[in-house]
Amino acid sequence: MSRKAIYVMVCILLCAAGLTTFLKAAEPVKTGEKRDTLLYVRTDPPGAKVLINGKEAGTSDGLFRVEPRSGTILVELEGRKPDKRQVIIRANAITRVEMSLDPKQGPIREQKFEPKSGAAVDSPGPHFVGNLPQGSVELIGVTHYPPTEQSKWWKPDGSPVELGTFLPQTSHGPSHPHENSVSILFRFRNLPADTSRAWKTTPPAGWWADDVVDGQGKALEGYGMLCPDFNETVKTAGFHVGIDGGSWETVITQKPDRLGSSSFSRAGRESTVSLLKAEARESAGEDSTRVTLMSNEPYGQWRRRLVAVTKDSTEHATRIDYMESNGTADFRGLRPSSITELRYQVRPFVWVEFKNVSLQPGEKTEVVVVSADKPAESDEQPATNP
């Protein structure tokens, strides 16, 4: 082979090698594989058993690979009360959940519930009662948190009052109570059986509300307790008690196999609610249906429920369990295929306000009670998602 032929061949080979390099460089850059869907669970204290939708996943604090969906997180630790949360797990992201495990409450000392002379039902002096369209709310007394059989109570105006033993049913109050951590005892009279309560404080404070028991742990019907934790500089406070009432109003309808968002306007406020597709589940060995919701409605404006209408036109109502803006509604004994329509219903809270309540015994105040007006009526039509 001549020198010229060898030269031409070498040039051809070099060109081919360069073209190959160029083509490799021109290939699309790989951005990596799809990110995992993960759930991070942190507990205080750590070391708790973590169950995700009823299946044990490991211990906290931990990062768990999961499927994107709504789910139930349950954490358990010996000597502590279990904690349970509803979460919506986002696809290809890390969903973080922090949970607190309170110590289990020891047995309550037995004491027969016998109100002392001068108890709430017979106490002299003014009574602090707010009227509702149906029934009434009375603020009976205030004491330092946590209440015990030996607690000293005072009226909302700071004057002393002798009461029997009134205790919260559970113990989820302030973990580090101080002088302005208080328990407020309310009595509810002549309210319909299916009402629920909402609470607000002025100034705003962290609070926890509960039913009431006597010294033997027996439930006391018609009583409620609010346990707020005010800043130590606050001397007086206001308490707003909301009771829902009136007829249920359907504001959104949707087919169970659809996903959609709808807005409705009531009492000058516009709210948006998103309903995800109904999903089949199993609860206590029977078929059930779960619907996940998201809402921007402010706390205390409405009591909310979801109604499933089945093929035989029967209506099945269930409550909505909310965690911040996300909620779930469960229909036990119903399959999604048996449901023809979902109805999102609301009815308003009406409020009684107790102003200028004394947070310390002997600190006299002039208490003002503002009774509730009738719930606002509306003739607006419900939103519909086909």
Least confident of 1-15, 53-67, 331-345: 1-15
Does residue 44 fall inside a structural domain? yes
Which pLDDT score, from 0 to 100, does residue 39 have? 86
> DSSP class of residue 100?
E
State which H helix or E strand residue 214 sits in: none
Q: Residues of the chain with pLDDT > 70: what percent?
A: 79
What is the distance between the alpha carbons of residues 59 and 78, in angstroms, rounded to a whole number? 13
The more confident residue out of 28 and 143 is 143
Which pLDDT score, from 0 to 100, does residue 70 have? 76
Q: Are residues 288 and 342 in the same domain?
A: yes
Q: Are residues 233 and 362 in the same domain?
A: yes
Q: Provide DSSP, 113-171.
A: --PPTT-TTT--S---EEE-SSSEEEEEEEEESSP-TTPPEE-TTS-EE-----EESS-
Which pLDDT score, from 0 to 100, does residue 6 have? 52
Q: Are residues 134 and 227 in the same domain?
A: yes
CA nearest neighbour of 341 among 250, 263, 253: 253
Q: Are residues 286 and 233 in the same domain?
A: no
CA nearest neighbour of 319 among 195, 205, 231, 199: 195
The more confident residue out of 303 and 106 is 303
Which pLDDT score, from 0 to 100, does residue 9 have? 59
Does residue 26 fall inside a structural domain? no
Q: Are residues 221 and 307 in the same domain?
A: no
- The tally of domains found in the chain comes to 3
CA 150 to centroid of chain Cα atoms? 33
Q: Are residues 233 and 356 in the same domain?
A: yes
Which pLDDT score, from 0 to 100, does residue 380 have? 41
Q: Are residues 359 and 238 in the same domain?
A: yes
Q: Residues of the chain with pLDDT > 90: what percent?
A: 43
Q: What is the mean pLDDT of residues 205-217?
A: 89
Q: Are residues 141 and 222 in the same domain?
A: yes
Q: Are residues 224 and 78 in the same domain?
A: no
Contact 331, 288 (CB under 8 A): yes
Q: What is the mean pLDDT of residues 263-283?
A: 86
The more confident residue out of 323 and 273 is 273
Does residue 105 fall inside a structural domain? no
The more confident residue out of 325 and 376 is 325
- Domain around 317: 249-350
User: Pairing between strand 197-202 and 83-88?
Assistant: unpaired
Q: Are residues 326 and 205 in the same domain?
A: no
Does residue 32 fall inside a structural domain? no
Q: Quote the pTM value.
A: 0.62
pLDDT interval class at 318 (50, 70, 90):
very high
Classify the C-alpha dihedral 144-146-152-153 as positive or negative: positive
